[in-house]
Amino acid sequence: MDFLKKNWKGILVCLCIAVPSSLLGKKFPIIGEPVIAIIVGMVITLLIKDKTNLESGIKFTSKKILQYAVVLLGFGLNLQVILQTGKQSLPIIVSTIATSLIIAYVLHRVMHIPGKISTLVGVGSSICGGSAIAATAPVIDADDEEVAQAISVIFFFNVLAAIVFPMLGTAIGFSQTSGEAFGIFAGTAVNDTSSVTAAASTWDSMYGLGSATLDKAVTVKLTRTLAIIPITLVLAFMRAKKEEGNEQGKVSLKQVFPFFILFFVGASVITTVAVTAGVPIGFFAPLKELSKFFIVMAMAAIGLNTNIVKLVKTGGKPILMGLACWVGITLVSLSMQHMLGIW
């Protein structure tokens, strides 16, 4: 009861943004539902003078609902397929993640960008955007402003990826009769699941491939998402070592470990066992759809927490870092696919 009293207004606002954003996103798939939701949220927040009664619900939606979305994505995923895809895409995944983290670290040192922002942009670019940032922020003790800025940078390039990548794929000669090459490209070069979905769905629509590209891209992307576990653990150990000797600053791995990723794996295990037992994969389709809608709600909340004016004034260097990570990941993904003979 207390939970509803405290959060219902903020959750309702996010829901009211998510519903029309979902409808518009279906009509304009090249932009996508999540992208529309975050833009609408960023505009609406400029019109709200006092968000005191909304803050708790918005925060719950941007953090918890986003994690629930990731968990639900596990339903409908066959781990046998993920393992098979992982073998093919693992070298690309490792290379793109390493590229983004190295670029972020170098620019942090060269351009004197704050360490927490650099970490969030590097991790968000390399793994899974908002989910990775949400999992990493408590580990490095980033504040809401830093999280909002990093997410804004990440999603700015998500918009570009959703629009540009299908055209880029056509220009460089990806197969138009198979979604495999573009699916792997989208799954490794686009940082957020929602934008991976938007780019892959656009490719499917352009060349009448059903959901072949989308299935491939999401599987690769979710395989890549598992990198959250080792990276957050390493960051936790680094923070604990840095703050060693400060009793108040000590970090408990139990507090910062991204358990929602384990639930995602658990959902995948349930699906794998069920499919092996003869349950059709379509049985889990409603949960996957609910997951997509939760992502749209979370993006609306993130938009509501983002100050466009402040972002423009203070986000120059982080945006340049995001651009460098984005370009680096794109080039490495394409190069690795070419080397491995996928493209």
pLDDT for res 327:
96
CB proximity list for 96: less than 8 A, separation 6 or greater: 126, 188, 189, 329, 332, 333, 336
Average pLDDT, the chain: 83
Q: In which residue ranges of the chain is pLDDT below 50? A: none
Q: Give backbone dihedrals phi and psi of 14, rounded to 5 degrees, phi first.
A: -60, -40
pLDDT for res 111:
93
pLDDT for res 322:
93
For the stretch 278-314, pLDDT in tens is 998 889 889 878 987 987 898 788 788 777 776 666 6
Helix axes 193-207, 180-189, angle to 10 degrees: 160
For the stretch 36-71, pLDDT in tens is 887 899 889 888 888 888 989 998 987 788 778 878
**What is the CB neighbour count within 10 angstroms for residue 343?**
20
pLDDT for res 257:
64
In this structure, is the dihedral angle defined by the CA atoms of residues 103, 106, 110 and 112, taken in order, positive or negative?
Answer: positive
pLDDT for res 211:
80
pTM > 0.75: no
DSSP string covering 31-49 = T-HHHHHHHHHHHHHHH-S
**How far does CA 342 lie from the centroid of its chain?**
24
Distances in Å between the alpha carbon of 208 and those of 187, 204, 205, 212, 241? Answer: 19, 5, 5, 9, 53
pLDDT for res 113:
92
How far apart are the C-alpha atoms of 202 and 209, rounded to whole Å?
A: 10
Length of the chain measured in residues: 343
pLDDT for res 336:
93
pLDDT for res 101:
95
DSSP string covering 111-162 = HT--HHHHHHHHHHHHTTTHHHHHHHHHHHT--HHHHHHHHHHHHHHHHHHH
pLDDT for res 310:
67
The candidate with the shortest Cα–Cα distance to 44, out of 5, 4, 10, is: 10
